[in-house]
Amino acid sequence: MQRHSITSRIPFDPLFLGPEILVSLPWSHRLSLLNSLFVIVGLNFGVLIAWVVVSCITLPLLQLYVRQKEEVAQNEAVAARRRAQVQEKRSPVVR
């Protein structure tokens, strides 16, 4: 049977230990636990902020790309209709 230490199960939550155990720890261990908590929380906020920045940059770029693609398709459809109208005027249908 393998034994797990508390730090391997819950490495980021020093309050999981309970206030009694946390108070009984030396200051160096308390600071180490709080430091690990702040580093992990800080990394999570950093990832969220980076995700928002990337989304704010890529969303307008993708919108421009799709809009240009739709305009090209619409212009081709208008040109095809005009060619069809010109073709009808040149060769009247005989009934």
What are the tens digits of pLDDT across the range 68-88? 999 999 999 999 999 988 887
| Domain annotation covers residue 1 | no
Number of domains in the chain: 1
| Domain annotation covers residue 86 | yes
| Domain annotation covers residue 95 | no
Looking at every residue in the chain, the average pLDDT score rounds to: 78
| Domain annotation covers residue 72 | yes
Tell me which residue range forms the domain holding 64: 6-90
Q: Which two tokens stand for residue 90?
A: 């040149």
Q: Which two tokens stand for residue 61?
A: 């770029």
| Domain annotation covers residue 21 | yes
Q: Which residues make Cβ contacts (< 8 Å) with residue 34, sequence separation at least 6?
A: 14
pLDDT tens-digit profile of 30-67? Answer: 778 777 777 777 778 888 899 999 999 999 999 999 99
pTM of the model: 0.47
Q: Are 57 and 38 in contact (CB under 8 A)?
A: no
In the prediction, which pLDDT does 26 show? 75
In the prediction, which pLDDT does 47 show? 86
